[in-house]
Structure formats: C-alpha cells, structure tokens
Amino acid sequence: MISTLIDRLRGAGCVFAEDEARILLDAAHEQAAHASRPSPSSDVTDLLDALVARRIGGEPLEQVVGWVQFCDLRLHVAPGVFIPRQRTVLLAERSIRAMEEAGPSARFLEAFCGVGPVATAVARSVPGAEIHLGDHDETALACARKNVGPRAHSHQLACLTGLPQALLPGGFGVISAVPPYVPDAAAEFLPREAIDHEAPTALFGGVDGLDMVRGLIRDSREWLAPGGTVLIELGREQRHAAAECARTWGYNASSTLGDDEQTTVLELR
Ligand SMILES: C[S@@+](CC[C@H](N)C(=O)[O-])C[C@H]1O[C@@H](n2cnc3c(N)ncnc32)[C@H](O)[C@@H]1O
C-alpha cells in the first residue's frame, strides 16, 4: 500500500512523497479510530483515498491532515486558514522571553493570530498568563481557541479595533503579531499552495507589505501597558521602514534577524 501511495504522490509532484505518505496514512488511521461508529466511510482505505485525492488536488498537506507541527506543538488547522510557518518560531521565542520579563500579571495578545501559534507557545511556557487572541477570520479564531485551550480569550478584530474597553487601563504587557506582510507585487514568488488555499487577506499587506504593520503600530499605542513590548514579524528588507514608522509613534525600535537571514522580529518599547 505505502509504495503505491508514494508513487502516486511523487507522480503528482510532492517532493517529500515518503514523508507525506506516512503522514497521510497515519491521519487515515487516526480518523478511522475516532469515527464515532463504524461505517463504510470510516474504512481506512476509503479515508486514505479521500485524503490523497485532496493532496493530489493541490491542497496543502497540513490542511488535509488538519494539523501542523510548530516547535513541540501540534496545532490544529482548518481548510483555508493560514498555516503557521517555521520561521515564526523566532517570534514565539522572543514573545516567551518578553512575557517572562513582564511578570506574572502581564496580559498577552497575539494580534493577527491565525490559528494562534505564538499564543499557544506562550500559554504552554508561561503558566498563569492571561492569553488573548485577535483576528478578523472566525474560522482561524476557532482553531486558535482549540490550540490555546481554556485560557484563551478570543476577539474578532479589525487590526486591534474591537478589543473590549474593559481591558483598559492596563491593556497588554506584550503584543505579538505576524500581520500579512507580503508586498502585493511579490505574489509570483509565493508557492501555488499558498495562493490557492490561504486567504489573500492573510498574506498581502499592500504595496510595500506594511499596511497592517503600520496599523498595528498605531493601534498598539492605545493598548500597550506602560513598559510593555510590541513584537512584529516581518521581512528583513522591511525593518527600516517599519522602525521609522514606530519612531513617529514614540517607540524605541530594535530588530533581531532569524537564522534564515530573512525573517526579522521588530521589537518596540
Ligand atoms: C500572516 S497570517 C499570520 C497568522 C498567525 N499569526 C501565524 O503566524 O500563523 C495573518 C493573519 O491576519 C489576519 N488578518 C488579516 N487582516 C486582518 C485585519 N485587518 N484584522 C485582523 N486580522 C487580520 C488573517 O486572517 C490571518 O489569520
């Protein structure tokens, strides 16, 4: 069974066909085991066929099997939502450190949270921290709530508009975000899977990619606690323009470059 599966996936252009075959097979077994009662559709072969058809049709593996590995976490993802990227581990690490520095009473917000990779990592590493999630996409928020668990407070937002006034004064000790930051004209450099299966609003940030980054910097002035930290992931070539914008809003800005020499975390205090 497995070698036929590998051949089918390889024939469809899957580069890591062996790994994907194993993951798809495991997913079919898991789904069969969780089927509430035996039925023809809970048969492993039928389930596997359905999963493979979706994958061969071009859907990202993570959306097909319903999860992505992020740090040591297995995060739930639904069809159509943004799939967390491994480069965001850098932002998760910086966020955990900022929360540890902020102290036990600090609230954490992952804005533009998608399925909440950063908030989930913070929730696991900083026991007791109050965790807030914000996104405009209700499907993504539902995944994020599931990933973070019962400590999650979720808010459907336009940038930060829609946060409850009851959180003021005080606001958040740390606000972290991966806003959509791909410049509109860079669409041709994105993988086909992203263009076809993730919402454009989750990817693109205007002419220079910084429309939402500027919105977040502006809105964070109202919501950041005194002495708090804003952490934003963006591309290396965008960091000077974003830092310049942050200075006009009274922030001190510094940045950290990831091992890939491309991903940057902008830190505002
Ligand atoms: C690049 S994804 C990042 C998601 C998540 N932080 C991650 O790293 O996996 C950007 C997210 O911002 C959300 N988004 C886009 N525009 C928004 C807006 N104006 N207000 C709130 N959320 C928005 C999208 O739904 C998407 O989930």
Q: Is 109 in the pocket of ligand 1 (CB under 6 A)?
A: no
For residue 156, give the 3-state DSSP assignment. Answer: strand
> Which atom of ligand 1 lies nearest, measured to the CA of 203?
1
In which residue ranges of the chain is pLDDT below 70? Answer: 36-42
Query: Strands 107-111 and 172-177: what pairing?
Result: parallel
Report the C-alpha gap between 128 and 228 in whole angstroms: 18
Report the C-alpha gap between 224 and 120 in whole angstroms: 20
Query: Would you state the pLDDT for residue 1?
Result: 72
Report the C-alpha gap between 241 and 239 in whole angstroms: 6
Query: Would you state the pLDDT for residue 40?
Result: 55
Q: Is 116 in the pocket of ligand 1 (CB under 6 A)?
A: no
Query: Would you state the pLDDT for residue 35?
Result: 78
Of residues 103, 219, 230, the one with CA closest to residue 176: 230
Helix or strand run (H / E) with residue 242: helix 239-248
Mutate to test the pocket of ligand 1, among 112, 157, 212, 213 (most ligand atoms within 8 A of CB): 112
Q: Which residue minimizes the CA distance to atom 1 of ligand 1? A: 180
Output the CATH code of domain 86-268: 3.40.50.150
Q: Is 146 in the pocket of ligand 1 (CB under 6 A)?
A: no
Q: Torsions phi, psi of 256, nearest 5? A: -125, 130
Q: Is 220 in the pocket of ligand 1 (CB under 6 A)?
A: no
Give 131-159 pLDDT, tens digit per residue: 999 999 999 999 999 999 999 999 999 99
Query: Would you state the pLDDT for residue 169?
Result: 87
The structural domains of the chain, with segments of one domain joined by +, span: 2-57, 86-268
Report the C-alpha gap between 194 and 190 in whole angstroms: 7
Q: Is 84 in the pocket of ligand 1 (CB under 6 A)?
A: yes
pTM summary value? 0.95
Q: Is 195 in the pocket of ligand 1 (CB under 6 A)?
A: no
Query: Would you state the pLDDT for residue 178?
Result: 98
> Which atom of ligand 1 lies nearest, measured to the CA of 201?
15
Query: Would you state the pLDDT for residue 36?
Result: 66
